Chains A and B, each alone.
Chain A
Amino acid sequence: DAGVTQSPTHLIKTRGQQVTLRCSPKSGHDTVSWYQQALGQGPQFIFQYYEEEERQRGNFPDRFSGHQFPNYSSELNVNALLLGDSALYLCASSLGQAKTAEAFFGQGTRLTVV
């Protein structure tokens, strides 16, 4: 059973460019969340998708957007990249919207903005 998979593993972009990160959830999971983990910090919640709708959003600017497809996979898009967007981007999946359910994380995409 494949867990949460993310692509690409590493990415280098230039300031001002746009980037798209991809995530496939664990088999059977229908909820996908994205987190940003800056160096030396805990993960910060960006947004969550459920039933192809943005269910919850954290305190991130509109430059961060996303999408969920009918097969529950998801994309994270970041426009007008800033140096401060350099971080590990983590995707997590879970089943449904129960507050008690644990989330399963992918290995992350390391984004470097130069």
Chain B
Amino acid sequence: AQSVAQPEDQVNVAEGNPLTVKCTYSVSGNPYLFWYVQYPNRGLQFLLKYITGDNLVKGSYGFEAEFNKSQTSFHLKKPSALVSDSALYFCAVRDLNQAGTALIFGKGTTLSVSS
């Protein structure tokens, strides 16, 4: 079965420090991977995706993600965290076994950036 795992429920970093939010995946075939962010009482906002090509993907708001096929990981990174980055982050993989384009989400990681 296809799945994603976010091993950390919460990540705490100080403003200005680099941040990493971890994600590992399990799929049959080549994965299509996505990161979304959710602010309180809001829907999900798309940050970036990996389809193929360069293992380092750049996205919105200064975020980037590193795809590692051997470790089946797709970690979200940012060189310098902002307090406004505090939110709930979801990793997702596209379901390749079905006809449609459903996303399979991890349980989420809460990022808390302190000033």
Contacts and interface: CB of A to CB of B under 8 A. Distances in A.
A42 B108 contact: yes
Interface in A78-114: 90, 92, 94, 97-108, 110
B43 A102 contact: no
Q: Which of B42, B45, B103, B104 has the most CB of A within 10 A?
A: B103
A55 B100 contact: yes
B36 to A, nearest CB: 7
B105 A56 contact: no
A45 B102 contact: yes
A48 interface: yes
Give chain B's interface secondary structure class. Answer: loop
B3 to A, nearest CB: 11
Interface residues of B, number: 27
A42 B106 CA distance: 6
Interface residues of A, number: 32
Contacts of A44: 105
Interface string A27-58: 00001010100001111110010100001101
A4 interface: yes
A108 B90 CA distance: 16
